[in-house]
């Protein structure tokens, strides 16, 4: 397979929309012009890669509408990666203001191309709920108990810190009433933490009264540094 194999389908796609198309113009793989409109530039590569994106970004100094074109991935050539990250790659192109075209070389030029996104200015839509959860977690978390970049260690969240407060208090008392736990630890969501018991640390003795499990005792040792900071 060669990059030139993509050209017939790309040229057909653009000519069908009324463009005059020429290849290899001032280092640009494909240049298309329609009347007095600004040019369209297409850069072609055999795989989606960082060099391809950098090349397209460089072409944005020449034209507003810049596309990258790659062969449609198959099982033998990056199909699994494309299937797994397709949405992310399209989103990346959108954020960069770059269009993305795939070419199915098994099909004739008039049916081979698929435009996944056009090069329009991208303004990401904010997710207010997720942003609110982010700020809530930040404000409720005590100190900075984690190390940035951690992936194989358990993250100390505000929820885990609250659970540890409850655990420590119950351990000191042997067993404790929910009302006392909430008042002494200042953990308003203590009831939910004890009832859901995500970590397996708590055991209900009777209604409204809790003790800790052997797993909870182990957690006291495991998170001793975190408890000291709290």
Q: Residue 69 pLDDT more than 80?
A: yes
Q: What is the model's pLDDT at position 146?
A: 84
Q: Are 166 and 78 contained in the same domain? A: no
Mean pLDDT, residues 89-110: 92
Q: Which CATH number do you get for residue 37?
A: 3.40.50
Q: Are 171 and 66 contained in the same domain? A: no
Q: What is the model's pLDDT at position 123?
A: 67
Q: What percent of the chain has pLDDT over 70?
A: 97
In sign, the C-alpha dihedral spanning 16, 18, 23, 29 is negative
Q: Are 17 and 100 contained in the same domain? A: yes
Is 143 a domain residue? no
d(CA 99, CA 22): 19
Is 127 a domain residue? no
Q: Are 112 and 188 contained in the same domain? A: no
Is 221 a domain residue? yes
Q: What is the model's pLDDT at position 124?
A: 65
Residue 194 belongs to domain spanning: 155-229
Is 149 a domain residue? no
Packing angle, helices 214-222 and 158-173, rounded to 10 = 120
Mean pLDDT, residues 160-188: 95
What global pTM score does this model have? 0.64
The two beta strands, 40-44 and 65-71, are: parallel
Is 102 a domain residue? yes
Q: Are 106 and 159 contained in the same domain? A: no
Is 205 a domain residue? yes
Average pLDDT, the chain: 90
Q: What is the model's pLDDT at position 26?
A: 87
Mean pLDDT, residues 65-90: 84
Q: Residue 122 pLDDT more than 80?
A: no
Q: Residue 61 pLDDT more than 70?
A: yes
Q: Residue 77 pLDDT more than 70?
A: no
Q: What is the model's pLDDT at position 174?
A: 92
Per-residue confidence at 169, pLDDT binned at 50, 70, 90?
very high
Boundary-marking domain end, from 96, 117, 138: 117
Is the distance from CB of 81 to CB of 49 less than 8 angstroms?
A: no
Boundary-marking domain end, from 62, 88, 117: 117
Is 176 a domain residue? yes
Q: Are 111 and 159 contained in the same domain? A: no
Is 45 a domain residue? yes
Q: Which CATH number do you get for residue 182?
A: 1.10.10.10
């Amino acid at each position: 397979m060669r990059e030139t194999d993509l050209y017939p389908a790309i040229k057909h796609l653009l000519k069908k929309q009324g463009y005059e198309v020429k290849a290899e113009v001032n280092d640009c793989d494909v240049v298309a012009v329609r009347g007095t409109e600004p040019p369209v530039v297409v850069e072609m590569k055999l795989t989606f890669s960082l060099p391809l994106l950098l090349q397209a970004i460089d072409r944005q100094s020449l034209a507003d509408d810049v596309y990258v074109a790659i062969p449609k991935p198959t099982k033998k050539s990056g199909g699994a990666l494309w299937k797994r990250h397709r949405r992310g790659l399209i989103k990346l192109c959108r954020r960069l203001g770059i269009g993305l075209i795939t070419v199915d070389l098994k099909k004739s030029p008039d049916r081979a191309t698929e435009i996944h996104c056009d090069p329009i200015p991208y303004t990401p839509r904010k997710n207010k709920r997720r942003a609110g959860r982010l700020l809530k977690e930040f404000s409720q978390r005590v100190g900075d108990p984690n190390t940035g970049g951690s992936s194989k260690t358990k993250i100390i969240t505000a929820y885990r810190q609250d659970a540890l407060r409850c655990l420590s208090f119950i351990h000191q008392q042997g067993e404790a009433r929910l009302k006392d736990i909430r008042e002494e630890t200042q953990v308003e969501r203590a009831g939910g933490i004890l009832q859901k018991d995500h970590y397996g640390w708590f055991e209900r003795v009777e209604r409204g009264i809790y003790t800790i499990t052997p797993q909870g005792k182990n957690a006291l040792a495991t998170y001793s540094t975190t408890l000291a900071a709290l």
